[in-house]
Amino acid sequence: MTRSRHVGTERPRPDAADKLAGKAHYIHDIAVQGMLYGRIRFSDHAHARIARIDTSLAESVPGVRAVITGQTTPEIRFGLLRDNVALKKDRVRQFRDEVAAVAATSPEAAARAVELIEVEYEPLPAVFTPDEALAEGAALVHETDHAGRSRSSNLLPLSCRHLTGDIAAATAASRYIVEGTYTVPRIQQACMGTSGCLAEFSPEGNLTITAKTQIPFLAQRDFNRALEALGLTNRNSRVIVPAIGGAFGTGLDTHAYEFIAILLAWKTGRPVKIVYDRREEFSCLSPRQEARIRVCQGCDDRGRLTFRDVEVIQDNGAYTSWGATYPNVMLVTATSLYRVPAVRFDSRIVYTNNTYCQAMRGYGNPEVTWAIESNLDELAAAAGMDPIAMRLLNANEPGDLSPMGLKFDSCALRECLDAVATSLRTSSSPPAGQTRVRGTGMAGLINVGGGGKIYRSDGSGIILKLDDYGNVNVAYGGVEMGQGLHSALTIMVADALGVRPERVFINQTDTATCPWDVGTHASRGAFMAGNAAVLAATKLRERLFALAERVYADEVERNIARIGQSERIEAFDFRAARAADFDLRDGYLAPRQAPDEAWYRIELGRLLRAAHFAERDPAIFTEEAFYEPPTQLPDWERGYGNMSASYGFGAQGVEVEVDTETGEVRILRLVAVSDIGRVLNPATLKGQMYGGIAQGVGYALFEEVQTERGRILNPGFTDYKVASAADLDFPIELRFVETNDPHGPFGAKGAGELALAPTAPAIANAIYNAVGVRVRDLPITPEKVLRALSETSRR
Amino acid sequence: MRYSYHRPASLDEASDMAAALPNARFIQGGTDLMVRIGQGRERPGHLISLRRIGELTTIDANREIRIGAGATLSDTLAHPDIRRRLPALAQSLAALGSRQVRNMGTIGGNLCNASPAADTAPPLLVYDARVEIRNGRAIRCLPLAEFLLGPGKTALQAGEILVAIVVPDPPEGTGSAFIRRGRVTMDLAIASVAASVRLNGGASIAIRVAAGAVAPTPRRLTAAEAVATPTDDWSRAAIAAREQIEPITDLRASAEYRRHLTGILVRRALTMAAAASGQWSIDR
Ligand SMILES: Cc1cc2nc3c(=O)[nH]c(=O)nc-3n(C[C@H](O)[C@H](O)[C@H](O)COP(=O)(O)OP(=O)(O)OC[C@H]3O[C@@H](n4cnc5c(N)ncnc54)[C@H](O)[C@@H]3O)c2cc1C
Residues A407-421: pLDDT tens digits? 999 999 999 999 999
Say what the pLDDT of residue A105 is: 98
Task: Pinpoint the residues of chain B covered by CATH 3.30.43.
Answer: 4-48
The three-class DSSP label of residue A594 is coil
pLDDT tens digits along B207-225: 999 999 999 999 999 999 9
Q: Is the pLDDT of residue A34 over 50?
A: yes
Q: Does ipTM exceed 0.90? A: yes
Q: Out of A107-121, A560-574, B46-60, pick the least confident.
A: A560-574
Say what the pLDDT of residue A675 is: 98
pTM score: 0.96
Nearest to B251 among A706, A724, A729 (CB): A706
- Architecture of the domain whose range is A34-124+195-275: Alpha-Beta Complex (3.90)
Please list the residues that pair with A628 across neighbouring strands.
none
Residue A590 near residue A608 (C-beta atoms within 8 A)? no
Closest-CA distance, B187 to chain A, in angstroms, reads 7
Q: Does domain B4-48 have CATH number 3.30.43?
A: yes
Q: Is the pLDDT of residue A27 over 90?
A: yes
Handedness of CA A651, A657, A661, A664 (dihedral sign): negative
Say what the pLDDT of residue A569 is: 56
Which ligand 1 atom minimizes the distance to the CA of A717?
1
Q: Would an 8 Å CB–CB cutoff place B249 in contact with chain A? A: no
Q: Would an 8 Å CB–CB cutoff place A713 in contact with chain B? A: yes
Residues in chain B within 8 Å Cβ distance of A782: 181, 257, 261
Our mutation pick for probing the ligand 1 site, out of B101, B133, B147, B180, counting the most ligand atoms within 8 A of Cβ, is B101
Average pLDDT of span B165-190: 95
pLDDT tens digits along A735-759: 999 999 999 999 999 999 999 999 9
The three-class DSSP label of residue A557 is helix
Q: Could you tell me which residues come within 8 angstroms of residue A422 by beta carbon, excluding any fewer than 6 positions away? A: none
User: B255 C-alpha vs ligand 1 centroid, how far in Å?
Assistant: 25
Average pLDDT of span A771-777: 97
Q: Over chain A, what is the mean pLDDT?
A: 96
Residue A560: which pLDDT band, with cuts at 50, 70 and 90? confident
Residues in chain B within 8 Å Cβ distance of A713: 251
- Residue A284's Cβ-count burial label (10 Å; 0-12, 13-18, 19+) is buried
Q: Where are the strands (E) in A450-572, listed by range?
A: 460-466, 472-476, 504-506
User: B25 C-alpha vs ligand 1 centroid, how far in Å?
Assistant: 13
Nearest to B257 among A721, A723, A783 (CB): A783
Q: Is the pLDDT of residue A426 over 90?
A: no
Contact A702 B183 (CB under 8 A): yes
pLDDT tens digits along A681-714: 999 999 999 999 999 999 999 999 999 999 999 9
Q: What angle is formed at CA A516 by the lines to CA A530 and CA A631, rounded to 5 degrees?
A: 60
Alpha-helical (H) ranges within B162-254 are 222-227, 235-244
Task: Pinpoint the residues of chain B covered by CATH 3.30.465.10.
Answer: 57-168
Please list the residues that pair with A538 across neighbouring strands.
none
Pick the CATH number of B174-276 from 3.40.50.150, 3.40.390.10, 3.30.390.50, 3.10.20.30: 3.30.390.50
Nearest to A662 among B1, B188, B261 (CB): B261
Q: Cα separations (Å) of A143 from A83, A155, A325, A507, A615?
A: 11, 12, 22, 46, 71
pLDDT tens digits along A542-557: 999 999 999 999 999 9
Which ligand 1 atom minimizes the distance to the CA of B34?
29
Look at ligand 1, atom 50, and give the residue with the nearest C-alpha: B97
Residues with CB under 6 A from ligand 1: B 25-33, 35, 50, 69, 73, 96-97, 101, 104-106, 108-110, 112-113, 115, 117-119, 156, 161-162, 186, 188
- Across A48-85, b (16+ Cβ under 10 Å) vs e yields bebeebebeebeebebbbbbbbbeebeebebbbbebbb
Residue A667 near residue A693 (C-beta atoms within 8 A)? no
* Angle (deg, nearest 10), helices A759-771 and A365-382: 30
- Topology (CATH level 3) of domain A16-22+459-627: Aldehyde Oxidoreductase; domain 4 (3.30.365)
Residue A224 near residue A492 (C-beta atoms within 8 A)? no
pLDDT tens digits along A467-486: 999 999 999 999 999 999 99
What is the β-pairing status of strands A460-466 and A622-627? Answer: antiparallel
Helix and strand totals (H; E) in chain B: 12, 14
Q: Is the pLDDT of residue A117 over 50?
A: yes
Q: Is the pLDDT of residue B281 over 60?
A: no
Interface probe, candidates A783, A784, A789, chain B, greatest B C-beta count within 10 A: A783
pLDDT tens digits along B64-80: 999 999 999 999 999 99
Q: Is the pLDDT of residue A257 over 70?
A: yes
Q: Is the pLDDT of residue A640 over 70?
A: yes
SS3 content of chain B, % helix, strand, coil (to 5): 35, 25, 35
Return the H-helix or E-strand segment holding B167: strand B161-168
**A16-22+459-627 and A290-453+633-794 share one CATH topology?**
yes
- Topology (CATH level 3) of domain B57-168: 3.30.465
Which ligand 1 atom minimizes the distance to the CA of B161?
42
Rg (CA), chain B: 19
Residue of B nearest to A107 (CA): B1
The three-class DSSP label of residue A746 is helix
Pick the CATH number of A290-453+633-794 from 3.40.190.10, 3.90.1150.10, 3.30.365.10, 3.40.50.300: 3.30.365.10
Q: Rounded to whole angstroms, how far apart are CA atoms A784 and A679?
A: 39
Q: Where are the strands (E) in A271-390, listed by range?
A: 272-275, 290-299, 305-317, 343-351
The three-class DSSP label of residue A114 is helix
pLDDT tens digits along A482-530: 999 999 999 999 999 999 999 999 999 999 999 999 999 999 999 999 9
**DSSP line for A395-409:** ---TT-B-TT--B-S
- Residue B103's Cβ-count burial label (10 Å; 0-12, 13-18, 19+) is middle
DSSP state of A185: -
- Those of residues 110-169 in B touching chain A at CB distance below 8 A are none
Half-sphere exposure of B123 (CA within 13 A, CB side): 30
The three-class DSSP label of residue A69 is strand
